[in-house]
Amino acid sequence: MTAPRLPALVAFLVLGAALVALLALTTPWHPLGANAPRVAADVHRDFTPAEIARENAFHRQTRPPGYAAVVLGLVAAAVLGLTPLGAKVVERLGRGPWPVRAAIGGLALALFPRLLTVPLDARTEVVLRRYGLSTQTWAGWAVDQAKGALVGSVLVVVATVGLVGIARVAPRTWWAWGALAAAALVCVVSYAYPVVVEPLFNHFTPLPAGPLRTELLGLADRAGVPVKEVLVADASRRTTALNAYVSGYGSTRRIVLYDTLLNDASPKEVELVVAHELGHVKHHDVRNGTVAGALGAAAAVAGLYLLLTSPALLRRAGADGPSDPRVLGLVLFAIAAATLLTSPAQCLVSRRIEARADVHSLDLTGDVDTFVASEKRLAVTNLSDLDPDPVTYAFFFTHPTSPERIALARAWGEQHAG
């Protein structure tokens, strides 16, 4: 009996079209308006040759291990997914009932590529320390790696046991239930992440009452967005980088400031950073991102069904079908490949959303000079890549470069002059 493919194909196309339409309609392609003044990004205008040389030297050392880790992880996943090797691993490890085989097999197949890249990640950590960006001990670093692997493992077990289980119960329609479950999982993770996962890595304390807290809450009021909490994360235990973010929605929404930012930046700079984060809240970026993620996850499950009903691919992977835990190598490879292939689109959308948050911070503070000064400082302190090569920019830049952000602020200034 061959499973029908047409309904899943239609669902894949419809969900994909809905996702593209959502992104096309909600992405701020022109954050300043289509007819705004244009200011070209110019790295040499704001950064000294020494600053540029330092970040270039830094990235010449971090890019190779970073790229090697991406390629090695993908190649390992491909070998496990597109040859019978992954199926053999699952067979060797697993005796017993299918949930155990799916959980242990899935974990082994997901962790193996990750273990391979640990030396490369360690190499990156060495460079971060050399440049004073990491303040971690190796023990602290290892604990962080283990926690990251643990969080990933929980998701892998939920996904692999869930997939094999649903495929066993509903061999012909599992893609529909799986798509619903995946969309729900994205929503749950998005909601639970700040309350469950973030505290694993950082300790949060409320920003004590004082002029800064009053100023920040006043800023949130002026922005017209409800914020319950301003928290400080003890990020200085691992990094010297300056950062802040907003996470969660509804009752879990909070603004989080790195303690490094509080210690090193002036109150005006902190306000600007927070005004940027409030822009994300105002424009519902987390909610929109979650909806897009849910649509993407549902489309991915329908796409996975199409792959897993291909006899040629199953033969390659040495598995009988999606109800057979030996299929998990192929599944994990498909997820890894799809994630990498879609990252330029994700980054493109993210960069426009970040630019809109920058515009919001300028609208709220009206302070181009502080924006430019603080952008420079953040870039120099964080050793940001000021002039990335096009591939790096396309695949990994979720934010515009600092020269681009400064140029946007100057364009905003021209737009609002007089």
Site residues (CB under 5 A) for Zn ion? 354, 357
Nearest approach, Cβ of residue 355 and Zn ion (Å): 9
- Give the other-Cβ count within 10 Å of 24's Cβ: 10
**What does the block give as tokens for 324?**
């057979």
**In terms of CB distance, is 55 or 354 closer to Zn ion?**
354
Nearest approach, Cβ of residue 276 and Zn ion (Å): 6
**In terms of CB distance, is 278 or 357 closer to Zn ion?**
357
Nearest approach, Cβ of residue 389 and Zn ion (Å): 23
Instruction: Give Cα separations from 297 to 23, 103, 183, 215 (angstroms).
Output: 15, 20, 6, 40
**In terms of CB distance, is 59 or 280 closer to Zn ion?**
280
**In terms of CB distance, is 103 or 357 closer to Zn ion?**
357
Q: Where are the alpha helices (DSSP H) in 283-327?
A: 285-308, 311-317
Say how many residues make up the chain. Answer: 418
**In terms of CB distance, is 292 or 357 closer to Zn ion?**
357
Placement of tokens 């822009």 in the chain = 279
Nearest approach, Cβ of residue 249 and Zn ion (Å): 15
Spatial CB neighbours of 210, under 8 Å, sequence gap ≥ 6: none
Nearest approach, Cβ of residue 280 and Zn ion (Å): 6
Nearest approach, Cβ of residue 165 and Zn ion (Å): 38
Closest listed residue to residue 110, CA positions, set 76, 141, 82: 76
- For 121-141, b/e burial (b = at least 16 CB within 10 A) is eebbbebbeeeebbbbeeeeb
375 within 8 A of 406, measured Cβ to Cβ = yes
Q: How far apart are CA 253 and CA 301, in angstroms?
A: 29
355 within 8 A of 405, measured Cβ to Cβ = yes
Task: Compute and round to an integer the Cα radius of gyration of the chain.
Answer: 23
**In terms of CB distance, is 11 or 278 closer to Zn ion?**
278
The H or E element containing residue 58 is helix 49-82
Nearest approach, Cβ of residue 198 and Zn ion (Å): 16
**In terms of CB distance, is 300 or 357 closer to Zn ion?**
357
Nearest approach, Cβ of residue 381 and Zn ion (Å): 17
Amino acid residing at 269:
E
**In terms of CB distance, is 32 or 89 closer to Zn ion?**
32
Q: In what order do the strands lie in the sheet with 254-258?
A: 204-206, 229-233, 254-258, 244-247
